Structure 1
Amino acid sequence: MTTTRIVTGHDSSGSSTIISSGSLAGAEEFTHSPGFSAAVVWQTSPVPDIADRPKLSEHPARSVIPAPGGTTALLVTFPPDSLFASPDFDPAAAAGELCERLPGLGELFEADNPGFHRTDSIDYGIVLEGEITLELDQQSHHLRQGDIVVQGGTRHAWRNPGSKPARLLFVLVGANRPERSG
């Protein structure tokens, strides 16, 4: 599915206008993870300025994980898990591609527990299409189109046991992780 990103702003006289409209770069399928896609829709700094016109690029500059107070919007399509059971699936190549296309996030995935990761962010996840399962340390929850998840830096993984892709929009708000005592 092609997604168009429309960005509004102001012209020189202060009138609202469309400053950019076009295909969402980076939304194409990953090469080594068939059916999976993840595109950065937009990122903001910890104290964004409405007048800022960030460079629109396919890849984030340093990390998709925002600094505390910053934000990242991600559009992610999860294919059915069965696609990863193919004998042609190469987990090492898939992990490398994830790190390349989603810097700062790909490195957080656990090698011994595929799919599990934790970010220093508050995440709002909205199921746009399909169904998906959120796995946590001790439980899981099945989500359907229209469901919204709010995660506070929890260790988790996404699983799609169904036969159709699931498409989610995530908004990550960078946060500080408190130090654990004792």
Structure 2
Amino acid sequence: MMNKIPRRIVTGMKDGKSVIIEDLPVENAVEHFPGLIISDVWNTQTMPASLDFEARIPNTGFPKTPKNGTYFRYVVVPPDKDLGVKWKKNEPHPMMHQTLTLDYIIILSGELYLIMEEGETLLKPGDIVIQRGTNHAWSNRSDEPCIQLAILIDAKI
């Protein structure tokens, strides 16, 4: 699965004209747990964002979005059974977490449950989630990995 992370194309300016500066496979894909692959494809460190600067960041299982910054994250979520996640319906999900960010998430393939402290919903390809700094977890109850793109923006909570 690691070799299926898309390539990263970075544009910029050279001699007053737009150019492609980089066209390579994503280099910082990390498998944090079996099958859980995360690549922090791009980030910004300030708002408004600088167009001339990239600070390469290490991938983390749970993101550490910079103050006044953003993360652009590619995530492969394997089936729960492959991760070894066991969860009983009336107990908190073991992967429940909260980020201090506004997240725009798009499901590219597979399916995934978004679990909240109260309630859940099944997400399918093309679904969009606006995650506003709330406690949540992801559960893949299918037999196939789910791929999502997420843009995380530092927020006031």
**Alignment-mate amino acid for residue 36 of structure 1:** L
Structure with greater helix percent: 1
SS at match of 1:122: strand
Number of aligned residue pairs: give it.
146
Provide the secondary structure at the position in 1 that maps to 2:12: strand
Structure 1 partner of 2:40 = 40
Which residue is equivalent to 1:22?
24
Query: Structure 1 regions of 5+ residues with no counterpart?
Result: 87-111, 178-182
Measured after TM superposition, the shift of residue 56 of structure 1 is: 4.0
Structure 2: gaps (5+ residues): 86-91
Cα distance in 1, alignment partners of residues 31 and 66 from structure 2 = 27
Q: RMSD of the TM alignment (CA)?
A: 2.1
What TM-score comes out, normalization by structure 1 length?
0.73
Aligned to 1:5: 8
Alpha-carbon spacing, 1:138–1:70, altered in 2? closer, same or farther (3 Å): same
More strand by share: 2
The residue matched to 1:29 in structure 2 has which SS? Answer: strand
Contact 1:65 1:174 in 2 (8 A): no
- Whole-Å Cα distance in 2 between the matches of residues 28 and 121 of structure 1? 22
Which residue of structure 1 aligns with residue 121 of structure 2?
141
- CA deviations 1:56-108 (Å, max 9, x no partner) are 46x16xx943234311011000000011239xxxxxxxxxxxxxxxxxxxxxx
Distance 1:25 1:114 in 2: 29
Q: Percent identity?
A: 34
Runs of 4+ residues deviating >4 angstroms: none
Paired residue secondary structure (1:82): helix
Alignment TM-score, normalising by the size of structure 2:
0.84
